[in-house]
Amino acid sequence: MRLHSLDITAFGPFAETVSIDFDALSGSGLFLLSGPTGAGKSSILDAVCFALYGDVPGDRSTAGRLRCDQAAAGVAPHVRLEVTLSGRRFRIERSPKWERPKKRGSGLTTEQASVVISERTEGAWRPLSTRLDETGHLVTGLVGLTLSQFCQVAMLPQGRFQAFLRARSEDRHALLRQVFRTGRFDRIEQWLRERRLELQRSSASHARGVAQVIGRVSETAGQALPERWDLADLSAPAAEGDIATWVHDRLEQAQADAAESVAGAARADAAVEESAAAVSQAASLISRQDAHAEALRRLAEHDVEELQHQRLRLARAERAQPLWSLADTLEKDADQLERLRATATAATRTWCEVTGTLDHEPSYDELPRLMTQASRAVDRAEAARPEAERLLEVTRLCDEVERHLVEATTAERRLADEAAAVPAMLREAERSAAQAETAQQQLTATTAELDATRLRAAAALELVSVSASLRQAQTERDAARVAVTDLKETWLTIREARLEGMAAEIAGALTVGCGCPVCGSPDHPRPATARAGSPDAAADRAARKDVDDAEADLLVRNEQVRELETSQTRLATQSDGRSVAAADEELAAAERKHAETSALAQQTARLQAEVARLRRHSDDQREAHEAARQRVVDLTSRLALHTAERNRLRTCVSEVLSGSGCSTVGELVRLRTRQLEALAAVCSARELVAAAQRDLVRAERTLADAAAGAGFSSTAEAINARLDVDEQVALAAEIDRVRELLRAAQTVVEDEDHRRAAALARPDTHRLAHLHTAAQEHARAAHAQQVAAQRRLERLGTLFDETMAALARWAPVRDELASTARIAGLVEGKSSDNALQMRLSAYVLAHRLAQVVAAANERLARMSDQRYSLEHTGRRGAGESRGGLSLLVRDDWSGETRDPATLSGGETFVVSLALALGLADVITQEAGGSELDTLFVDEGFGSLDAETLEDVMDTLDALRDGGRVVGVVSHVAEMQTRIPSQLRVSKDRAGSRATVRIG
């Protein structure tokens, strides 16, 4: 992978477009990325990561704010990267998700993330994809690294590997797992844990099932479980076969109990049959005795004379039967006459009520004359009906016209009032429209005045902050000057003391047989000795380093003071000498004026439309008022015509209704009709009564002649002898029944078997029944015991099968649980078989860490002058529960190993850098040997002395072998003089900028 160019717009601290030419920076193979804190050095690296992977590393990704807050409102955040991946040149353009102002109205709307990746082929860019997922898969496949791996390999992060060097095994495990993607081993551990829990739950479920089954066996058999068994843990008795044996014993005992219950039930059934035979014989004897006694009683209670009387009564009823129809006819004629008389009386009473003549009942001769009068009255009432209907219609028309006239009069008055109010409304609308037009003309000037006022207010407010920052920066700069002076004096003192003891320092470097660097003699008779506390070269370099650091700090602070002074002068000019309070007051007044003018100007079109509407409305009102006035005149004329016709019709109808007591002609017609109908009903009813009287006389005469012919002395005697057919049949049947009963009783009395039974003593049926009942109860109990024993046997047989099946299902689960638990404990590092107490994933990562340490030591040997090397140990560190990922530093000068936490700041950086480079080498090899031709190293060089810095720079120079480009991110001033190719990042209130300097 090699970077060619990077364009950043509205991303991170870069408000405007920043273009970076990596090809120019890569000419020497090493370039410096420098700038003040917060200027955006890391944001450039974030932009590279975002272009490749669509995300940024670390906590900045979770913050979700990638767009520059200082960018213009409508400018979209955008990153464009040209890069070579696996020999193919690509251009990747990405924009993150961001909020932009709505094009219509106020507020914000969300723009989703987007990407365009193109490949340069045959001298032109050819688009490949605009999908986020496709682009991500393509880039990850070409680079061969994930985002986290890329950040560890290509962008050695600030302080990350110092923390990794000193981390606990658990923390180091988390980082290595992320980098080497050993999630499959974690998933194996997780699967074993979950499988163990699953088998534990399954085994517990099987155990509960077995416990439930043997509990039912105990309940069914009526025997308690062995005391040594624990229902919460039946693994031991299940494995030893005790459960199966105990259940089988209960089944055999149930089989013996069932056989005994069958024999007992058979004996009880024989006793029941014997007692039942005795009861049956006693019942037969008692039945014959009772039949003989009943026959004697019936012969004694039935009289022969009573039987003869019933025969005579039946004969008389048979003679009277032909007269029944004549008697029924006579009765019907009498009933009909009574009903007709009642009907005639009711009809006469109804006619009297309708005519109002309750004190006079008409005679039969008056009825024709009254019928003629009633018919003529109906005709007269019918003749007046059309005039009455016309009167109702005219009355309705009068009411309707009166209602319309009231409504029209009200509308005419309302329209007159509205027409009078329109001119004033029109004048007010014209005045408001004129004011709005004036405000619209003044809006441009008001807006310009508001913008200028806002700039002055912002400058005045920022001037206060910048002035305070300037005073603070001047104070810190003065303190830095004093510190430089003091450190220089200290360094000169150390240098002078070292020069005074230089002879001893030279003597300390002499070896036997080698010439003296001063006189050249190989003999050293009296070498000088150093005084106690004399400084050496290391102390001299350390003091000089402190001076260099202080001077670099002073240089930065001087630059900061100059920038703040420039900003103060610019802001003072922009604020025009106004204070914050005065500027805010002026801004508030300008905003109020602008808001009022803008609000009024926005109403121009609406007010002009309102004026036009009111003018049209005035014309409409005049036309509507004239139409309403004309309608009032028309309705008044119509009302007069309808009123005259209504008065004439009322006079005619009143004459017809006079004296009738009716309020309408319809009531009069109905009254006359009811009177005519009632009189007709009276005539009809009286004619029917006369005819019924004649029919009744004829029926009485016919019945008397028939009774005499049948041998009855009178009609009453014939009627009393009457019996219904059912009564005759019942009487004949009773006569036959009594005759047959007497014959049967005589037969029983004369029977020899019944006479012998009557001579015997009556048996004790109560005692026999009691004995039979007792035998039945005993038999039922025996059968119930047999059924219970058989059911118990069947139930225990079923439970025995269930127990065997449950034990068979449980056995493989127990075996698998035991093996799974052993394996899970081993891979979790909790088993005694795992001597290192190391998890499986940690064991894999330990191998990877050993590879990283081997690669790191190759570089650490050069950077530390063969002094330090890293050692990977499987021992647990202090306070750690598991080992396998611990690191130690070996000091080859002293031969001792020590904890990385004991290293100094510079030593820590050197060892951490070597560790980071070693990890990068291993990850690159792990990714299939993907070449990373661009590498960034972020910070940490300020903690190195001159010699160590030289060694580190040599190592970085070695990284350039094969055309690799190394970018160093640093604040150290000496780096700016050592590395000519530089990417400088600066910042101000308008956003950060980046410039490329070569040479």
Tens digits of per-residue pLDDT, 638-696? 888 888 888 887 787 777 777 666 777 677 677 777 777 777 777 887 788 778 888 77
- Which comes out higher in pLDDT, residue 50 or 425? 50
- Output the CA torsion 313→316→322→328 (10° steps): -60
- pLDDT at residue 986 above 80? yes
- pLDDT at residue 90 above 90? yes
Q: Which of 546-555, 692-701, 919-928 has the lowest mean pLDDT?
A: 919-928
- Which comes out higher in pLDDT, residue 554 or 520? 554
- pLDDT at residue 997 above 80? yes
- Name the burial class of residue 344, with classes exposed (0-12), middle (13-18) and buried (19+) by CB atoms within 10 angstroms of its CB: buried
Q: How confident is the model at residue 118 (pLDDT cuts 50, 70, 90)?
A: very high
954-967 pLDDT tens trace: 766 766 665 678 88
Nearest by Cα to 213 from 809, 815, 801, 788: 801
- Output the CA torsion 619→625→627→630 (10° steps): -150
Q: Are 226 and 246 in contact (CB under 8 A)?
A: yes
469-497 pLDDT tens trace: 888 988 998 998 899 889 888 888 888 88
Indicate the CATH number of 1-144+931-999 among 3.40.50.300, 1.10.3720.10, 3.40.50.170, 3.30.465.10: 3.40.50.300
CA 674 to chain centre: 79
pLDDT of residue 996: 87
Nearest by Cα to 225 from 995, 672, 803, 696: 803
Range from 752-756, 764-768, 853-857 that averages highest in pLDDT:
853-857
- pLDDT at residue 280 above 50? yes
- Give the mean pLDDT of 228-233: 79
Q: Are 772 and 279 in contact (CB under 8 A)?
A: yes
pLDDT of residue 339: 83
Cα–Cα distance between 514 and 505 in angstroms, integer? 16
Residues of the chain with CATH 3.40.50.300: 1-144+931-999
pLDDT of residue 63: 56
pLDDT of residue 179: 67
- Which comes out higher in pLDDT, residue 502 or 284? 284
694-721 pLDDT tens trace: 877 787 777 777 777 777 777 777 677 7
pLDDT of residue 692: 81
3-state secondary structure of 458: helix
- pLDDT at residue 782 above 90? no
Nearest by Cα to 81 from 2, 5, 1: 5
65-82 pLDDT tens trace: 788 888 888 889 999 999
Tokens of 414: 């309302």
Exposure string of 443-476, with b = 16+ CB inside 10 Å and e = fewer, is beebeeebeebeebbbbbebbeebeebbeebeee
Range from 311-315, 348-352, 405-409, 860-864 that averages highest in pLDDT:
405-409
Nearest by Cα to 986 from 77, 10, 26, 43: 43
Cα–Cα distance between 409 and 652 in angstroms, integer? 34
- Give the mean pLDDT of 548-553: 82
- Which comes out higher in pLDDT, residue 104 or 585? 585
The residue type of 770 is: H
- Give the mean pLDDT of 791-802: 85
pLDDT of residue 929: 46
- pLDDT at residue 766 above 80? yes
- Which comes out higher in pLDDT, residue 140 or 304? 140
Instruction: Write down the pTM of the prediction.
Output: 0.40
Q: How confident is the model at residue 628 (pLDDT cuts 50, 70, 90)?
A: confident
Rounded alpha-carbon distances, angstroms, from residue 348 to 128, 364, 377, 389, 964? 115, 11, 20, 34, 138
Tokens of 556: 């930065």
Tokens of 865: 């002058």
Helix 665-709, helix 324-355: angle, nearest 10: 160
Q: Which of 386-400, 645-659, 886-900 has the lowest mean pLDDT?
A: 645-659
Helices (H), 527-664: 537-575, 580-602, 604-657
Cα–Cα distance between 97 and 80 in angstroms, integer? 16
- Which comes out higher in pLDDT, residue 181 or 18? 18
- pLDDT at residue 590 above 70? yes
3-state secondary structure of 393: helix
pLDDT of residue 410: 84
Q: Considering the chain, what is the average pLDDT of its residues?
A: 79
Contacts of 610 (CB under 8 A, 6+ apart): 429, 432, 433
430-445 pLDDT tens trace: 787 787 777 777 777 8
Please state the φ and ψ torsions of residue 145, each to the nearest 5 degrees: -135, 150
156-194 pLDDT tens trace: 654 566 667 777 777 777 777 766 777 788 888 888 888
pLDDT of residue 944: 62
% of the chain beyond a pLDDT of 90: 5
- pLDDT at residue 91 above 90? yes
Exposure string of 488-517, with b = 16+ CB inside 10 Å and e = fewer, is beebeebeebbeebeebbebeebeeeeeee
